[in-house]
Structure 1
Amino acid sequence: MSAGDIDYGFTGYSPDLGGMTEAEIMGRGRIHDVIDHQTVALMEGRVRRTGVLERLQAWHDEDAPAFSIGGRPSLISERAVMTALLLLAKEGSALFLTNVRDVFMFRLSDASRELLGLERSIEAFVGHVGEKSRWYANTSRAFHRMNDLMDPFPQERRTSKTYTEIQAILRAHDVELEEKRKARLDEFTKLFLVMTYNEQPRNIRRASKQMDISFDQTYIGTPTVKGYSKKNLAKRVADEATVEDMKTLKPGPVDAYAGWHVSTGPRTDVGKGETDLTAPGRKADSAEYRWGWEINIAVRVDSEAPGQKRFPGLAVAATMSLPNIRVAEEAVSLMRAAKAVGLDPGVADADKQYWANALVERLHDPAHKEGFLPSTDYRTDRMGHQGGDHGALYIEGGTYCPATPEPIKNATIDLVSGSIDDETYEARIEERRAFRLHQKEKPDSKGRVVLRCPALGPSPTVTCPLREMLKTRKVLPSVDGEDLPDFADKICAQHSVSFDTARNRRTAQAFEYGTKEWRGFHVHARNSIESLNNQVKSGGTEDIESASRRRVRGFGAAQIIVTMLLTNFNLRKIAAFISDKIKDDAKKLIGGEPRVAPNRRRDREFHNPYTNTYPPGSTPPTKVTAPPFSDETGGPPRRT
C-alpha cells in the first residue's frame, strides 16, 4: 500500500476507486436501503385490491391481434411496476423509471422478489453497468406495455419534432382510439382512488350518506417545455418548406398533444371537434401561459356539516385533459367517477368556470342525470330576475311570487354594485325566502314539479290580496298591492301549478343563493379543493405540478404517475385523520379511564318523597315505617 492509499476497513474498498465504495458507484452516489417486506406486501396488496390488474388483462385481450406467433414471457409484470411506483411515492422519491429499476435491483428482499415474481439481480460489481441497462430496459418495457393500453395520444417522443412533423401527427390522429383509451385511463385512476377510499374505517366512509364534492382544474407541466399554437401552425409549416437544410432548424416541440394553460386572464372551453384558439405571444395579450396539461380533481366535502371534519378531504375522482378543452365534460366525468364509492350523489360545488359559464346541455343536464345538485356563484349578468313561467319569477335558482318586492328581488345586484352592505343584503335574502313558491310534490320522472303560491297551503309564508279568504294567526309579510301583476297568471289563479325544472336548471342550486347555508357550504367547499390543490402541487410531498419528478413523456404516462401520487396523498390523509382522532380521544382520558362528570351533592343525596325514589345506585334507608294512608288513586296521601 502506498503512502497515499488508505485502508478504510470495510468490504467493497479498492485502491482503484479511491475513497468510494463499490455500492456507492453502483448506486451512482446513492445508498440503496432495502425496503422491508411488510411494506412491499402492503403496497402489492393494495394494487391487487384496486381491480386494475383484471382490467389491464381485459384491455390487453381486447387489443391483441387475432393471430400471434407469441414470444417469451415478460421478466417484469405490470403489478411489480405499480407496486414499485407506490413504494417510491410513499417515501417521497421521484417516480423515475431509473428509480423503479433500482427498487427491483437493489431494494427488495428475497421474499419481496418472490412476491413480485422477479428474478435475483447479479450484484457483482464487475459487469454492473450492463446489468443495470438490462434491468432498465425490462422496466421500461413493462411500464410502456401498460401505458400503451391507455395512452390516448400515441406518438414517437424520443426526439423533438419539426412543425411539419407535428402537423402530420395531428392529421394522423385516431379520434375513436383516443376516446377508447381516454376512458381506460380514467378507469385506471378511478380504481386506485376508490381503493384508497375503501381503506378508511367504515364509520368514516359512512359519516355521510351522500357524496358531496368540490372540483376544479390545476396545471401540471410536461417534461418538455416547448410548445406551439395551432393558430399559426400552418404558417410555420409553410416557412419550413422553404428551408433547404432541415438540420439548421431549431429543435421544436416533442408532445403534440399538450396545450397552453392560461395562468392569468380569461379561459375558454371548447367542445369536441373544435379547435383551441389559445395563441400565446401576442403583444396585446396580457395573459400568462404555460405549456402542459390539466388535472381535474374532485375532493369529498360535507354539505350536512360544513367544516366539522367528519372525514378526511380525499381526492375521490380525477381525470387529465388538455387545457381549454372540454372542461364541462371532464367535470361530468368526475361526478360519474365519484359515484363509484357507493354513496348517493349529493352536492357538486365549483367556481364560475363551470356552472356559471358552461352551456346547460354540456354540464347542467348531464349532472342532473347523474343526480348531483350544483353549488356555485353567479355571473353578474345572471343575478336577479331571470325570466319565469306561469307568472312566477326565476330569481337566482329559485321560483318566486310575481309580487316579490323590487328591493329583495335585486338584493344581489345591489350588493355587487355597492348600493347596500352585507348586513342589509343578508336581511333582504332572509326576507326573500317568504316569497319563494312552496313545493307541493317531489319532481316526477320527467322533471316536472308542482309548486303553489306562498300564500296558500297549511303553512303560508306571506299574505296576498288575491288570496284574501286565507285567515292565519301568524304575522306574515304581506304582498303590496302595487306589486301585484297586471294579469293574474296560473300561479295566482290556481291552487298549484306544474313547473318544468329544466327551464330553470341553469341557475338552480342545492342551497338558496346568498343564505347562510349557501355561504357556509360554498366557502367550505372552495377552501377544501384549494387546500387539496395546494398540498399536491409544487413544494408538497407529491409535487404533481413539476415535471422534474416524472420524466416519462406523454399524456398517458403523466396520468399514470399522477394517479400514483394522488393515491399516496389519500393514504397520507387517511393516516393523519385517524392519528388526529386518536390524539383527540386521548385528551379525553384521565389516567387511562374515561372522564366522568362529577356527581353533585344534590344528586348524591336526592330523595323524592312524592314517589319515594332515591338516586340511581343508592341504597334506600333500611328503617321500616308504616305505609302512609292511601285512597288507591295513585296520588299523594290525603289527610283525614
Structure 2
Amino acid sequence: MSAGDVDYGFNTLEPDLGGITKAEVMGRGRIHALIDDETVALMEGRVRKTGVLERLQEWRDEDAVPFSIGGRPSLIPERAILTGMLLLAKEGSAMFLTSVRDLLMFRLSDTSRELLGIERSLAAFVGHVGEKNRWYANTSRAFHRMNDLMDPFPQERRHSKTYTEIQEILRAHDPDLAEKRKARLDEFTKLFLVMTFNEQSRSIRRASNKIDISFDQTFVETPTVKGYSRKNLAKRVADEARTEEKKTLNPGPVDAFAGWHVSTGERTDASAGQVDLTDPGKKPSSAQYRWGWEINIAVRVDSEAPGQRRFPGLAVAATMSLPNVRVAEEAVSLMRASKSLGLEPGVGDADKQYWANSLTERLHDPAFNEGFTASTDYRVDRLGHQGGDHGALYIEGGTYCPATPAPLQDATKDLLGAVIDTATYRERIKSRTAFQLHQKEKPDAKGRAVLRCPALGPSPTVTCPLRELLKTKTKTNKIRPAVDGDDLPDFADKICSQHSVSFDTAKNRRNAQAFEYGTKEWDEFHTHARNSIESLNNQVKSGGTEDIESASRRRVRGFGAAQIIVTILLTNFNLRKIAAFISDKIKADAKMQTFGEPSVALVRRRDREWHNPYTGTYPPGVTPPSTATASPASDETGGPPRRT
C-alpha cells in the first residue's frame, strides 16, 4: 500500500473474499488515495473567495418562510460539497455524487474534515454498506439543498413521464420563479469565473484595460436523452387518454425543460413568451437534432494585439439556456457578467447567429448600453449600400460620401460573387476608406455624432467639386482621390451643403463595427476572436479534461444541476489555463536567458587559420607578423613576390 492510500486495516486476503481485499470491497474495486491537506485548503480557500457561500445564505433567507419549526442541522455544508467538486475536477474525475461521497468519506484527513466542517466516517468493514448509503444520502441532500435555491425548472426527475404528465409540468411552470432562480444560477457561475480571473497576477489581468470577448453557444447533453416536441404534445396527450391500459404506454421523457439542439441547418431564436417550435419529426434529417441544453460562453480576446498571447484565453462569463431560446438575451448577459472583472467594456465578437440575425432592440441596443461594440460578419443581403441619412450612405458599418464610386460600394459583393480576387478586394476597401465621413465630435450621451464631408477639414482625404469654394489650408499636399462629377448626387443634401452634420448612431447601429469591415485589421481580430472561442469550446467539450458536452460523467438530472457542474468544470479549465500560461512564460523567459544574447557567428577553421602568401592576406582580426620575418613585399607587378 502506498503512502497516500487509506488503510482500513483490512488489506489482508481472506478465504471467503478470494483474492480481493476488504479495502477493495469497500471501495467497489477502487483504492481511495488521501488528498493532501494543502490541496484541500487551497480549494476550500477558492470557494470562499468566490463569495458564493454568502450569496447562498442570502437566497436561503430570502426564500425562508416567516415561521419555521426548525430542523436538524445539515451534516455536510455547501462549502464541503463545492470543495469536493473542485477537487474532483482538478484530478479529472467524473462529477458523480457518489464520487463526491467517496471523497468526503474516505479521502480526507482529520485536519481536512475539520476544515470543511464534516464528521469523521465510521470506516469499518462490517456495516460499511449502510454507512456509505448514509453518506450518500447526506451528500445528495446537501447538493440538492443548494440546487433548489437556483433551479429555474423544479420538477420530479426520478422517473420517466407520460406526455400527460409533461403537459401538467409545463402548465404548472412559474415564469417569475424561473426568472429569479435563473438570475441566481447565472450569479453563481459569474462568481466562480470572476474568482479564477482574479487568481491571475495583476500584470496579466491588466495587460489591457479593456475586456474584449468572443462568445458562442455549445451543446451539452441531458443525462436522459429522450425528448419531445411541443408541436405535437397535445396529440400525444390525446392518444394517451384513449389508451385504456396505462401500463402499456411507452416511457416518455424525464426533463420537461430541455430542447432540440440543431446540429446542422437553420436555427431559431425564440424571445421571451414565445415557444420554440424546433421539431426533429420522423424524417431522415432527424439525426441533425440532439436533446439537451446550450452553454453560452464568453472568452477573453485581445483587440489591441490579436494573437500575441498577452494573457490566457479564459472563460470570463457563462450562462446556460434552452436551445433556440433567447440567444440574443443570453449574449447580453455574457457582456454584463464580463464587466464584473473591473475592466472597461470593449469589443464583442460573434458569428452571424448573433449580430447578423438578431433584432436591434434585442441585442445591438442593449450591447451599446453595456458599452460593447460589435465585431462580426455580415449576411449577404446586408452587404454594400444599406440606406443612409442626410445624404450620406451607410455601407457595411461605415458612413460614406454619397459620391463613393459604385465599385467601392460593392467590393464585398463582387468578392463573394467571384467578380474580383482578394488582392483587388483589399485595394478597393483601402480606397473606400478615403470616402468615409470624418468624425468631428465623439458621440454624446444620446448617441449623436457630428460628422463632416471627407473633402473638408484640416486633413481631407478626397477632393470634391462641390467643396472647391470651401477649401481650407491642409497640413500636407498629398495627392488625394477625386470625386467623379458623374457620381455627384442630383440633390446636395446636408452632408454636401453644411460644414458638419449630427448623425444619430442608432440608425446605423445594426451594422456598426469596432473595425472597418473587410480591412486587414478587421480580419486579423475577427479571425483571432473566432479561433479563440472555437478553441475553448473544443477544449472543454467531449474528449477533454472537462468533457462538458457528454452527460456520461455527470448523472445528476436537471437544468440547475447541469449548470452547477459545468460551472465547476469551467472553473477548473480556467485554473488549468492560467497555470499553463505561467508555465509557458517561464519556459520562454528561461530560453531568452540562455539564448537571448546575440550570438556570435562562428568563423570556419579555414578562415581562422588560412593565410594567402600570394596576396599577403590574413583572416579577420589576425595581426600580420613583423616585417623582419615576413615574406618580401611584392614588386607591384601583379606577380608573386621576388626574393632578392
Q: Is the 8 A contact 1:265 1:287 kept in 2?
A: no
The Cα shift of 1:245 comes to: 1.3
- d(CA) in 2 for partners of 1:45, 1:533: 28
Which residue identity does 2:45 align to in structure 1? G
Structure 1 equivalent of residue 251 of structure 2? 251
Give 2:304's aligned residue. Answer: 304
1:283 corresponding residue in structure 2: 283
Q: What SS does structure 1 have at the residue aligned with 2:29?
A: coil
Match of 2:452 in 1: 452
Equivalent residue for 1:393? 393
State the partner residue of 1:517. Answer: 521
Equivalent AA in structure 1 for residue 493 of structure 2:
D
Q: Match for 2:480: what amino acid?
A: L
Match among 572, 589, 595 for residue 593 of structure 2: 589
Per the TM alignment, residue 105 of structure 1 is displaced from its structure 2 partner at its CA by 0.8
Distance 2:17 2:543 in 1: 37
Distance in 2, Cα, partners of 1:308 & 1:115: 42
Corresponding residue for residue 499 of structure 1: 503
Report Cα offsets for 1:24-54 as digits up to 9, x if no partner: 0000001100000000000000000000000
Deviation at 1:386, TM superposition (A): 0.3
The AA in structure 2 aligned to 1:189 is T
Measure the CA separation in 1 of the matches of 2:385 and 2:533: 31
Tell me the distance in 2 between the aligned counterparts of 1:222 and 1:57.
29
Alignment partner for residue 556 of structure 2, among 549, 552, 556? 552
Q: How does 1:183-202 map to 2 (within 5 A)?
A: 183-202=183-202
State TM-score, norm by structure 2: 0.90
* Residue in structure 1 matched with residue 320 of structure 2 by the alignment: 320
Q: Paired residue for 2:478?
A: 474
What one-letter code is carried by the residue in structure 2 that aligns with 1:526? R
1:349 CA drift (Å)? 0.2
Shift of 1:474: 1.7
> Which residue pairs with 1:618 in the alignment?
none
Whether 2:362 is the aligned partner of 1:358: answer: no
- For residues 517 and 564 of structure 2, the distance between their equivalents in structure 1, rounded to whole angstroms, comes to 39
Separation (CA, whole Å) in 1 of partners of 2:493 and 2:285: 51
Question: 1:589 offset after TM fit, Å?
Answer: 1.6
Report what 1:118 is aligned to.
118
> Cα–Cα, structure 1 residues 407 and 554, in superposed 2: closer, same or farther, change >3 Å?
same
Give the alignment of 1:43-192 within 5 angstroms.
Answer: 43-192=43-192
**Amino acid paired to 1:560:** I
Kept in 1, the 8 Å contact 2:10–2:22? The answer is: no
Q: Deviations over 1:100-120 (max 9, x none)?
A: 000011000111000001111
Identify unmatched segments of 5+ residues in structure 1.
1-8, 599-640
Q: Which residue of 1 aligns with 2:464?
A: 464
8 Å Cα contact 2:35-2:108 kept in structure 1: yes
CA distance in 1, matches of 2:152, 2:283: 34
SS at match of 2:347: strand
Q: Which moved more, 1:26-35 or 1:285-294?
A: 285-294
Q: Give structure 2 stretches of 5+ with no counterpart.
A: 1-8, 601-644
Shift of the alpha carbon at 1:590? 3.4
Residue matched to 2:536: 532
Q: Which amino acid aligns with 1:270?
A: A
Structure 2 residue 572 is matched with structure 1 residue 575: no
For the residue of structure 2 that corresponds to 1:487, the secondary structure is coil
Amino acid at match of 1:23: A
SS of equivalent to 2:263: strand
- Partner Cα distance (2:402, 2:193) in 1: 48
Letter matched to residue 502 of structure 1: A
Contact preservation (8 Å) 1:269, 1:326: yes
Return the alpha-carbon distance in structure 2 between the equivalents of residues 32 and 291 of structure 1. Answer: 35
Q: Which stretch of structure 1 is more off in the superposition, 13-22 or 172-181?
A: 13-22
Partner of 2:382: 382
Residues in 2 aligned to 1:353 and 1:458: alpha-carbon distance in whole angstroms: 41
Cα-Cα RMSD:
1.4
> Secondary structure of the residue that 2:518 maps to in structure 1?
coil
What's the CA shift string for 1:553-583, capped at 9, x where partnerless? 0000000000000000000000000000000
User: In the alignment, residue 543 of structure 1 is paired with which amino acid?
Assistant: D
Checking the alignment, whether the CA contact within 8 Å between 2:10 and 2:23 is kept in structure 1 is no
Q: 1:194 to 1:10 in 2, by over 3 A?
A: closer
Aligned 8 A contact 1:301 1:525 in 2: yes
Residue matched to 1:369: 369
The Cα shift of 1:339 comes to 0.5
Contact 2:185–2:560 (CA under 8 A) maintained in structure 1: yes
SS in 2 for 1:340: helix
For 1:264, what is the secondary structure of its paired residue?
Answer: coil
Give the match for residue 207 of structure 2. Answer: 207
**Fraction of identical pairs, as percent:** 80
2:484 corresponds to 1:486? no
CA distance in 2, matches of 1:500, 1:44: 51
**Contact 1:383/1:395, CA 8 A, preserved across alignment:** yes
Contact 2:345–2:370 (CA<8 Å) still a contact in 1?
A: yes
Give, in angstroms, the shift of residue 440 of structure 1.
Answer: 0.4
Q: Shift in Å at residue 13 of structure 1? A: 2.3
CA displacement at 1:464 relative to structure 2 = 0.1
The CA distance in 2 between the partners of 1:12 and 1:61, in whole Å, is 51
Aligned: 1:565 with 2:589: no
Residue aligning to 1:633: none
Q: Which amino acid aligns with 1:428?
A: R
| 8 Å contact kept, 1:270–1:325 | yes
Shift of 1:282: 4.3
Please list, as runs of the form range in 1=range in 2, the aligned pairs for 1:420-435 lying within 5 A after superposition. 420-435=420-435
> Which residue of 1 is the match for residue 441 of structure 2?
441
Deviation at 1:597, TM superposition (A): 8.2
Structure 1: distance between partners of 2:444 and 2:12: 78
- Supply the AA of the counterpart residue of 1:537: K
Distance in 1 separating the partners of 2:493 and 2:330? 41
Paired letter, 2:351: D
Does the residue aligned with 1:381 lie in a helix, a strand or coil? Answer: helix
Q: Output the TM-score relative to the length of structure 1.
A: 0.91
Q: What's the secondary structure of 2:441's corresponding residue?
A: coil
Question: What's the secondary structure of 1:292's corresponding residue?
Answer: strand
CA contact (8 A) 1:536 1:543 kept: yes
